[in-house]
Structure 1
Amino acid sequence: MATTADTAENKRISRRFPEEVATERNLDLIDEICAEGVIDHSPLGEMKSREELKEQIEYLHTAFEDFSATVEDIVAEGDTVAMRVLLRGRHNGEFMGVAPTGEEFEVENMVFTRIEERKIVERWVQPDMLGLFVQLGIIEPPGE
């Protein structure tokens, strides 16, 4: 069973991904905080290594100028950490086959992170894709 110290450490490790990897673009940190066979589940597909995660972060920064991920809430129990993360940026590069719109966005993102031996071994990332596509002008809001 996880102790209070373990839970606090798991939170610290988990929040480093959005804050330091995604926002500050510190891709080398992935090697430090993620297990070699880390698995990341997201709308962009399933990444199965540190290198694939690095490529995914580069892709996001190419698609979105000033991309940032701010942890708004964080809770942990056992080996799992749940975070509510606010994503922001400007669509200035191709994303999921969509040409740049130049539009800014701000959407919620839910992230569950599983930690083993002080390393991220698995992440489930669920951003508000409908909100993102509406803000980028890619689709019309439902009911309009």
Structure 2
Amino acid sequence: MSVEEITAENKRLVRRVPEDVATEGNVDVIDDICAEDVIDRSPLGETRGREEFKEQIEAVRTAFGDFSATVEETVAEGDTVAMRVTLRGTHAGEFMGVEPTGREFEVANSVFTRVSDGKIAERWVLPDMFGLMQQIGAVESPPG
């Protein structure tokens, strides 16, 4: 495989998390696309291994029953793929100690993913948590 083909394959692979897993709820896809010892780092904490990663995705989908993650752009270099993603949902379940408010949110999210041997090995997820918490009514907007 050429470098261009590997880069394109890595982009296709990492898109499966926001599209197939997070949006569609197909958490079992994690077994196919992630390394057994995958590490996922986000404001929700660090998960290690496929099962912890699945549990975290399921918790987010429970908190936001209509959760979706739309990939807006991908950029890849070497074994790393960066994605700009838009997250949307309605706060329908407890999230980070906040009881459901029924409010909708839409925030930007940046995800950096390292691929090793054709599997997702590590992810760094950086959503606009302040924006999300403001939109669901968990924090006040600053005056001004």
TM-score category (smaller protein): over 0.9
Normalising by structure 2, we get a TM-score of 0.97
Question: Is 1:103 paired with 2:103?
Answer: yes
SS state at 2:18 partner: helix
- Runs of 4+ in structure 1 over 2 Å off: none
- TM-fit CA distance, 1:143: 2.6
In 2, distance between residues paired with 1:61 and 1:14?
Answer: 19
Amino acid at match of 2:95: F
Amino acid at match of 2:123: R
In 1, distance between residues paired with 2:102 and 2:11?
Answer: 34
SS state at 2:100 partner: coil
Aligned residue number for residue 10 of structure 2: 10
- TM-fit CA distance, 1:65: 1.8
Aligned residue number for residue 33 of structure 2: 33
Deviations 1:64-93 (A, max 9, x none): 020000000100000000000100000010
How do 1:54-69 and structure 2 match up within 5 A?
54-69=54-69
Deviations 1:35-69 (A, max 9, x none): 00000000110000100011011101110020000
Aligned residue number for residue 91 of structure 2: 91
Normalising by structure 1, we get a TM-score of 0.97
Q: Using the aligned pairs only, state the percent identity.
A: 67
In 2, distance between residues paired with 1:6 and 1:143?
Answer: 48
In 2, distance between residues paired with 1:122 and 1:23?
Answer: 20
